Amino acid sequence: MAVKASEISVGDTFDEVLVEDLKRTQLVMYSGASGDYNPLHSDDIYSREVAGYPGVFAHGMLTMGMTGRVVTDLFGHENVKKYGVRFTNQVWPGDDLKSQAVVEDVREEGGEILVDIKLTTTNQNGDVVVMGNATGRVDP
């Protein structure tokens, strides 16, 4: 259920576990669904021997997609107005990711109530992998 304006205040936080022990299979699922078949994300031999990485790593868009669950859980899919991120570290198979949303503003614009949130997704070492912002429409 989407939050209501009356239920939230600036500074409120919402935490969500995005994935535990990220599997290579999930990278393949994301490749198949999104159409991004870059072998860096599905082909360990290519990633190691040709591209020079320790192995396959997650699409940035997979991490952004998982982080987006915090946004859609909070606002509901139909109420997302804006969602943007910066990718700050790579995500690897085996990673545990969790995300935190912080309410930055609750405001009125064009007859709607909008909520701005800041998002931070971190791995099991506390490294930030994605930083983002989102805006959603909420009911009073």
Partner 1 sequence: MADEKVIKFPVEATHIMMFGRSIGDYAADGADPADVVAPPTFPQSVAQFDPDYFLRPKLGEPWFGSGRNPSGIEGKPSSSGRLHAEQHFEFERPVRPGDVLYVTTKDGKTWEKESKRAGKLVFSERITEYRDGNGDLVCTARGVGVTTERPVDQG
Contacts of 120 (CB under 8 A, 6+ apart): 99, 100, 102, 128, 130, 131, 132
User: Looking only at residues 121 through 140 of this chain, which bind partner 1 when binding is defined by CB under 8 A?
Assistant: 134
User: Looking only at residues 18 through 77 of this chain, which bind partner 1 when binding is defined by CB under 8 A?
Assistant: 18-19, 26, 29-30, 32-40, 42-43, 45-46, 49-54, 59-62, 64-66, 68-69, 71-72, 76-77
Q: Are 70 and 16 in contact (CB under 8 A)?
A: yes
Q: Does 87 bind partner 1 (CB under 8 A)?
A: yes
**CB 66, min distance to partner 1, A:** 5
Say how far apart CA 24 and CA 34 lie, in whole Å.
15
Q: How many separate helices (H) and strands (E) can be counted in the chain?
A: 3, 5
What is the binding site for partner 1 (CB under 8 A)? 18-19, 26, 29-30, 32-40, 42-43, 45-46, 49-54, 59-62, 64-66, 68-69, 71-72, 76-78, 80-87, 90, 134
